[in-house]
């Protein structure tokens, strides 16, 4: 079962540069928000996970392609899917769309981290199982 998750985003003035184009780093913020909302929709409370297990997720790497600019007041959609996952890491394929146009694509590798030690750690079994159902 390969499921996509879609999250709407509107471009605000604060997201843009002086030309009214979305500042490049904000695309990464949009991706982060979409991944967070997807986990929330799955019932995964990241704050609770950190408090109860000392584990959290961190971005390990990003490969991004900026295809077309998003502009002030655009209504965008972040579409995400889990490309692969293991016990410690997951790779999300994400894209930002405006209508039928793809503006931005990225492959984002996240790692489960033991926050106190600052080292990679295995995901809790229930989280791993949830991701497995989406891959």
Backbone angle region of 58, left / alpha / beta, with phi > 0 → left and psi within -120 to 50 → alpha: beta
What does the pLDDT read at residue 112?
96
Q: Which CATH number fits domain 4-134: 3.40.1710.10, 3.40.50.1110, 3.10.129.10, 3.30.360.10?
A: 3.10.129.10
Mean pLDDT in runs of 10 for the chain (135 residues)?
85 95 97 93 88 94 98 97 94 97 98 96 91 80
What does the pLDDT read at residue 44?
86
What is the rounded distance in angstroms from the CA atom of residue 89 to the CA atom of residue 68?
29
What is the rounded distance in angstroms from the CA atom of residue 57 to the CA atom of residue 32?
11
What does the pLDDT read at residue 1?
46
Q: Which residues are catalytic?
A: 17
> Residue 82: beta bridge partners?
92
pLDDT in tens, 113-130: 999 999 999 999 988 888
What is the rounded distance in angstroms from the CA atom of residue 123 to the CA atom of residue 61?
18
Q: Residue 23 is inside which H or E element, if any?
A: none
């Amino acid at each position: 079962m390969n499921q996509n998750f879609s999250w709407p985003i509107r471009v605000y003035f604060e997201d843009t540069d002086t030309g009214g184009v979305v500042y490049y780093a904000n695309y990464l913020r949009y991706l982060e928000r979409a991944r967070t909302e997807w986990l929330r929709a799955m019932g995964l409370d990241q704050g609770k996970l950190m408090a109860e297990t000392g584990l959290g997720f961190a971005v390990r790497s990003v490969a991004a392609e900026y295809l077309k600019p998003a502009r002030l007041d655009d209504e965008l959609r972040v579409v995400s899917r889990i490309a692969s996952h293991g016990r410690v890491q997951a790779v999300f394929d994400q894209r930002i769309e405006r209508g039928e146009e793809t503006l931005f694509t990225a492959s984002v590798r996240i790692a489960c981290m033991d926050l106190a030690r600052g080292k990679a750690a295995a995901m809790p079994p229930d989280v791993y199982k949830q991701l497995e159902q989406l891959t």
